Chains A and B, each alone.
Chain A
Amino acid sequence: MSTVSSSHDLEHGHAEPPRGLTRWLITTNHKDIGTLYLLFSLTMFFIGGAMALIIRAELFQPGLQIVDPHFFNQMTTMHALVMIFGAVMPAFVGLANWLIPMMIGAPDMALPRMNNWSFWIMPFAFTLLLSTLFMPGGGPAGGWTLYPPLVLQTGQAFPFVILAIHMMGASSIMGAINIIATILNLRAPGMTLMKMPLFVWTWLITAYLLIAVMPVLAGAVTMLLTDKFFGTSFFNAGGGGDPVMFQHIFWFFGHPEVYIMILPAFGIISMIIPTFARKPLFGYASMVYATASIAFLSFIVWAHHMFTVGMPLAGELFFMYATMLIAVPTGVKVFNWVSTMWRGAMTFETPMLFAIAFVILFTIGGFSGLMLAIAPADFQYHDTYFVVAHFHYVLVPGAVFSIMAAAYYWLPKWTGHMYDEKLGKLHFWLSVIGVNVLFFPQHFLGLAGMPRRIPDYALQFTEFNMISTVGAFLFGFSQLLFAYNVIQTIRGGAKATDQVWEGAHGLEWTLSSPPPYHTFTTAPEVK
């Protein structure tokens, strides 16, 4: 593939990257920025993971052993913020950066300079967020949902938390605009919308979701800020406001946000399963429409997080049925994945193992979601460990497994080296066992009435908590294998072929492994 650029008016004229640290600071190359995002995400994954282990260590036994309750609450809040905004979302943006241009035959992202900005905001946002832990009064401790009036009791950290959230939001919005512009304007001739790989499709829809809801979150936290410092009363009942309104605004953002964290995962899984089943994806068009309907429905279900807050009967019923409706397109996806595997010539390399585990374990999370969607039942489940089990099943063996599957799947393409398959399989098995030991007992804890976000609990919950903590440490430490494997693959290893996987199809596999610094400077021909 030629790297000579004659006429393209993108930012970079040179074929070789500059050397040293400045390369990374000033880079506008989508592959460099993708790498930065992914490494940033991996770092945050370990920081957030360390917080989770503090939480689980404290919950190993009833009583207070290791940390004081206020610090415990800071850990639950920070763990969620770091994992959602620091680990999962940047990982998907990193994958989008690396893959979307190579999948649609574009030379780079449409707005390379903005791309550099989107990334470099993130380390500052998270330095700021994490530094609040050391401020007088500690970091935010009222939960990642930032409900007033509790969140307004945050100490001096409060304005810094809000600023950090604004910065992450700005980064996400810029990333989303960039992705939409790339997909709509830079596709190679012949790459029609309905020929796009599903990862590109799911990201296109996710980017629209981001543009629709990140500004709403920005608005909500701005209102918190003015309530606290400038005398407004958006959420202050004494001044005529209503704290419940915050919950409506927050979840109007929050529910689409959970789909922002899963739609790109659907895309990844829809790429990996056909490769290792050696069959084209079953029901491509229905996958696209299912993704679009999930995105649409995600705007009209937010109050399923608020069943117990107080709503008229009609509201409870509406949000209950609307939520259950989402299970239909989600079910279409699961059936399509299973049908793709059906009678396929399957092999079970590490990416496929993670993908299959995704299909099974995400579905368990979907079912517990359906249980929570039953409004009268949710009065018992709400704010218990059952909810914690639900969203960790969709987020860890869901979103996080898909990211790991993607890393194993495309790492040989990115680095030109095969990863260590044995180590990869070991990582998979330890993770899949760890994650179930960690989260499955939490269903039982929740059904038995253990509330979430508490540092201490009644004696009868001890056994399941101990099991869960053992699983947490198993899962957490297994991830070191992943980091080790990735680093070793970057540094060397068996040479990967261009196609890497026998059953892999798509433009990115026509490039060399690793691909040259600039790819598709002349658009490829798409049949």
Chain B
Amino acid sequence: MTTQADVREPASPAAANRRLVRRLSMGVAAMFAFGFAMAPLYDVLCQVTGLNGKTGGRVAAAQPVAVDAARTVTVEFVASLNAGAPWEFAPQVTRLQVHPGQFYQTHFLARNLTGQPLTGQAVPSVAPGPAARHFQKIECFCFTRQLFQPGEGREMPVTFRIDPELPPEVRTVTLSYTFFKLDDAGG
């Protein structure tokens, strides 16, 4: 808050008003920018903490960790389509028993049901949220856009491991993909 002496004594009230309006407008501009800044901040927060089930991108394959053969974690696979995405989309297997630290590969099957070429993007999500950080993929069809010719169907691989740091109370991890149709405008 401005002090008494600060606002009472200036040369003219008009000058004081101008100065105040300038400051407040800067506040408005800053808050407008802040709204947009929330987008990258939000992404960074989700990536770092794994809140919201967002998994990180590709991890470097060359960091071997000890396989914890004594522990078994169930990984479930779920596939769903965003509204209006004309694909058939399903996991090859719906669950795997895995040991933390070891790499596994599985596939998802997708088929373009239309007569046109289509581009799709799969968006992964891991539940429970705190497990997301410990779900490491070195290869995934979700890293890139997938182009399908008319009627084309194919198997798409994902290679992953569960980090042995996974909190001990987590016994089941669900990896879910939602397949989105990318139209020209939809980026």
Residues of B within 8 A of A213 (CB): 31
Confirm or deny: B104 has a beta carbon within 8 angstroms of a beta carbon on chain A: no
> In the complex, are the beta carbons of B29 and A184 less than 8 A apart?
no
| Cα–Cα distance between A249 and B27 once the two chains are bound (Å) | 17
Contacts of B7 in A (CB 8 A): 184-185
A242 touches B52 (CB 8 A): yes
B172 interfacial contact with A, CB 8 Å: no
CA distance A110 to B20 in the complex (A): 11
Establish whether residues A312 and B130, one from each chain, have CB atoms under 8 Å apart when the complex forms.
yes
Chain B binder among A226-234, A332-340, A343-351: A226-234
* Nearest CB of chain B from residue A202's CB, rounded to whole Å: 15
A239 — nearest CB in chain B belongs to which residue?
Answer: B187
**Which of B32-40, B70-78, B94-102, B157-165 lies at the interface with chain A?**
B32-40
Q: How large is the interface on B (under 10, 10 to 19, 20 to 34, 35 or more residues)?
A: 35 or more
Mask: chain B, 162-187; 1 = CB below 8 Å from A; 0 = not: 00000000000000001011101111
Q: Which of A26-34, A173-181, A406-414 contacts B (4 or more CB under 8 A)?
A: A173-181
Instruction: Report the minimal beta-carbon distance from B20 to chain A, rounded to whole angstroms.
Output: 5
Which of B11-19, B58-66, B105-113, B148-156 binds A?
B11-19
Residue of B nearest to A8 (CB): B13
User: B46 contacts which chain A residues (CB < 8 A)?
Assistant: 242
In this complex, how many residues of chain A approach chain B with their Cβ under 8 Å: the count is 47
Chain A: minimal CB distance from B120 (Å):
8
The distance in angstroms between the C-alpha atoms of A210 and B7, with both chains bound, is 22
Residues of A within 8 A of B33 (CB): 219
Chain B residues, CB < 8 A from A249: 35, 38
Cβ A239 vs Cβ B2 within 8 A: no
**Which listed residue (A111, A252, A311) contacts B17, Cβ 8 A?**
A111
Residues of B within 8 A of A110 (CB): 13, 17
B28 located at the interface, meaning its Cβ lies under 8 Å from any Cβ of chain A in the complex = yes
Is A180 touching B20 in the complex (CB atoms < 8 A)?
Answer: yes
B17 pairs with A237, CB closer than 8 A? no
Residues of A close to B8: CB separation below 8 A: 189
Q: Give B7 Cβ to nearest chain A Cβ, in Å.
A: 5
Q: CB-nearest residue of chain A relative to B6?
A: A184
A238 touches B31 (CB 8 A): no
A220–B24 touching, CB < 8 Å: no
Which A-chain residue is minimally distant from B13 (CB atoms)?
Answer: A185
Give Cα distance in the complex from A223 to B42, angstroms: 14
Expressed in whole angstroms, the minimum distance between the Cβ of B16 and any Cβ of chain A is 5
Q: A218-B35, A229-B185 are in contact. List 9 more A-B contacts (CB 8 A).
A: A111-B17, A181-B21, A184-B20, A189-B8, A211-B27, A215-B35, A234-B39, A241-B39, A310-B53
Chain A interfacial positions (CB closer than 8 Å to B)? 9, 110-111, 173, 176-177, 180-181, 184-186, 189, 192-193, 211-220, 223, 229-234, 236-242, 244-245, 248-249, 252, 310-312, 315
